[in-house]
Amino acid sequence: MTSDRDTAADAPSADQSGTENAGRCEWCGEEFDTQQWHYPGTERTAEGELLLRVFCSQHCRAHWEYRDSTPAAGE
* pLDDT given for residue 23 in this prediction: 86
Alpha-carbon span 64 to 27, nearest angstrom: 6
For residue 24, the Cα-to-chain-centroid distance in whole angstroms is: 9
CA torsion sign for 13, 16, 18, 20 is negative
What's the pLDDT tens digit per position in 10-44? Answer: 444 444 544 455 689 999 999 988 888 888 999 99
Any idea where the domains of the chain sit in the sequence? 13-69
- 9 pLDDT band (50/70/90 cuts)? very low
The residue ranking higher by pLDDT, 38 or 7, is: 38
